[in-house]
């Protein structure tokens, strides 16, 4: 078992990892920027190291700083959390080179699945259905035009180094390709340092369903079921739930087995999430793989009873999984709301000091947060204040519990998206489970 883990992150996810370490009896090292000196994750860690100024590029994205902090404190493990460097092959490679165990997949897996075209190839080879698209990135706009004749419209232009929807362009007609292509190229080069693009057939208003997997170093792979993440706004997930309202047990077993085989085929280790789109004829297509712990991991934890972070740490410590696939049983239904310090109407960030922070408890409620009364929501980082998760024996009970928990959650001093969730949880389509990725467009317009 690793003895001391440095958490290369901040906010609620840093605290979440620290909690898992404390329960495992593993010592922890928090890193913090000058803006996070009084943050809760620093308070609950055994040791802390300031790694630089508030600006993320000089602190939480600063690989030499983070690796040095691990070396001076003698940490033998490093958990990257999500966001920041959580999918960075550079951080993983630096950790490996310094004999520090990166709690995540190997550098090769990070590189393979981080390249969205290579990932598509690998999944197709492993028997996972992928969307019709270009096998190789078109070398020029001319090649893209040629590919569009074969694929038909609508098309979506994506960055091979991208993911999470950044730099994507949806194209409905041949006349739009040239402009969309050059804009996407510029955006991708600026955002990822790599302007390489590829094309896929665009699916209108799909459902967004992702499978959680765990794989140890001995080749054991299990999936922990799926999460439905169709309630999104500009690629920011707002509400996630498990299980999905549309997947039958048969579909879950079939897709889960396919994902497990693909994970084995690419030699993936530790926790990972494989995203799919489901079209209106209930066909599934692989979208992308996330080689990190995800924000929404708690909904899977609530329905399976498995602590995914502890499993990550055990796998990284060389332990084999302590359960088989047939021991993973989904119980009930869980829903998560991401409470952001943003205007509930415009989604404009609302940094500032939280004057009153009162969170609900009661049956089936979990609140993952590092916020507290007098804590500061910094303008330097993302606006996530807390994740409110409700679990019930079925979706209706989870909704009823989420409604009352939203009514009991008090955050004063900054705007939050709580009022938006209160409305969504009264919406008939939402309550009936009629979800897809266009839900928020329609909901907002109404």
Judged by beta carbon, residue 278 or residue 354, the one nearer ligand MV4 is 278
Q: How far is the CB of 131 from ligand MV4 (least distance, A)?
A: 5
Q: Which stretch binds ligand MV4 (CB under 6 A): 27-35, 199-207, 246-254, 319-327?
A: 199-207
Judged by beta carbon, residue 27 or residue 208, the one nearer ligand MV4 is 208
Instruction: Please indicate whether residue 401 is annotated as part of the active site.
Output: no
Distance CA 400, CA 333 (A): 12
Judged by beta carbon, residue 114 or residue 206, the one nearer ligand MV4 is 206
Q: Is 227 an interacting residue with respect to ligand MV4 (CB under 6 A)?
A: no
Q: How far is the CB of 229 from ligand MV4 (least distance, A)?
A: 8
If you ran DSSP here, which 8-state letter would residue 193 be given?
S
Q: How many CB atoms lie within 10 A of CB 186?
A: 12
Pair of tokens at residue 128: 């996972």
Q: How far is the CB of 289 from ligand MV4 (least distance, A)?
A: 12
Q: Is 119 an interacting residue with respect to ligand MV4 (CB under 6 A)?
A: no
Q: Which SS3 state, helix, strand or coil, does residue 340 take?
A: strand
Say how many CA atoms lie within 13 Å of 172 toward its Cβ: 1
Q: Which stretch binds ligand MV4 (CB under 6 A): 196-204, 252-260, 301-309, 312-320?
A: 196-204
Q: Which residues of 252-291 are buried (b: 16+ CB within 10 A; e: fewer)?
A: beebbebbbebbeebebbbbbbbbbbbbeeeebbbbbbbb
Query: What are the CA-CA distances from residue 320 to residues 101, 179, 305 (Å)?
Result: 16, 51, 18
Q: Is 202 an interacting residue with respect to ligand MV4 (CB under 6 A)?
A: yes
Q: Is 437 an interacting residue with respect to ligand MV4 (CB under 6 A)?
A: yes
CB 259 within 8 A of CB 247: no
Which bin fits 440, alpha (ψ -120 to 50), beta or left (φ > 0)?
alpha
Q: How far is the CB of 268 from ligand MV4 (least distance, A)?
A: 19
Q: Is 200 an interacting residue with respect to ligand MV4 (CB under 6 A)?
A: yes
Q: How far is the CB of 437 from ligand MV4 (least distance, A)?
A: 4
The catalytically annotated residue of 292, 314, 338, 401 is 292
- Residues 276-315 binding ligand MV4 (CB under 6 A) are 277, 287
E strand intervals along 8-54:
27-33, 47-52
Residues that bind ligand MV4 (CB under 6 A): 131, 156, 164-165, 200-203, 206, 208, 232, 235, 277, 287, 437
The residues carrying an active-site annotation are 292
């Amino acid at each position: 078992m690793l003895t001391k883990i440095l958490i290369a992150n901040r906010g609620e996810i840093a605290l979440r990892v620290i909690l898992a370490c404390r329960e495992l009896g593993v010592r922890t090292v928090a890193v913090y920027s000058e803006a996070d000196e009084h943050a809760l994750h620093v308070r609950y860690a055994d040791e802390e190291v300031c790694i630089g100024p508030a600006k993320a590029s000089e602190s939480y994205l600063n690989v030499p700083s983070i690796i040095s902090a691990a070396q001076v404190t003698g940490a033998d493990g490093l958990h990257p959390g999500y966001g920041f460097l959580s999918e960075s092959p550079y951080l993983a490679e630096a950790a490996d080179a310094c004999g520090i165990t990166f709690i995540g997949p190997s550098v090769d897996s990070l590189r393979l699945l981080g390249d969205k075209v290579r990932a598509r190839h690998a999944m197709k080879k492993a028997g996972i259905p992928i969307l019709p698209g270009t096998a190789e990135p078109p070398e020029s706009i001319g090649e893209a035009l040629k590919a569009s004749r074969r694929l038909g419209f609508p098309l979506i232009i994506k960055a091979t180094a991208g993911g999470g929807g950044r730099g994507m362009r949806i194209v409905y007609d041949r006349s739009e390709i040239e402009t969309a292509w050059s804009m996407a190229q510029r955006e991708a080069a600026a955002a990822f340092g790599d302007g390489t693009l590829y094309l896929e057939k665009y699916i209108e208003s799909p459902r967004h369903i992702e499978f959680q997997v765990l794989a140890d170093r001995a080749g054991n792979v299990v999936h922990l079921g799926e999460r439905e993440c169709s309630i999104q706004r500009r690629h920011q997930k707002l509400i996630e739930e498990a299980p999905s309202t549309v997947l039958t047990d048969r579909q879950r077993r079939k897709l889960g087995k396919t994902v497990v085989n693909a994970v084995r085929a690419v030699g993936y280790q530790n926790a990972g999430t494989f995203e799919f789109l489901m079209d209106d004829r209930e066909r599934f297509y692989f979208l992308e793989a996330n080689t990190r712990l995800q924000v929404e991991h708690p909904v899977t934890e609530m329905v399976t009873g498995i602590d995914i972070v502890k499993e990550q740490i055990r796998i990284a410590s060389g332990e084999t999984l302590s359960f088989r696939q047939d021991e993973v049983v989904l119980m009930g239904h869980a829903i998560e709301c991401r409470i952001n310090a943003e205007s509930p109407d415009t989604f404009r960030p609302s940094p500032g000091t939280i004057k009153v922070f009162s969170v609900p408890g009661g049956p089936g409620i979990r609140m993952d947060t590092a916020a507290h009364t007098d804590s500061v929501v910094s303008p330097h980082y993302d606006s996530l204040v807390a994740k409110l998760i409700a679990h019930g024996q079925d979706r209706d009970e989870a909704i009823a519990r989420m409604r009352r928990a939203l009514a009991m959650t008090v955050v004063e001093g900054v705007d939050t998206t709580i009022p938006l969730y209160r409305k969504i949880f009264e919406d008939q389509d939402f309550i009936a489970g009629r979800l897809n990725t266009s839900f928020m467009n329609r909901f907002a317009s109404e």
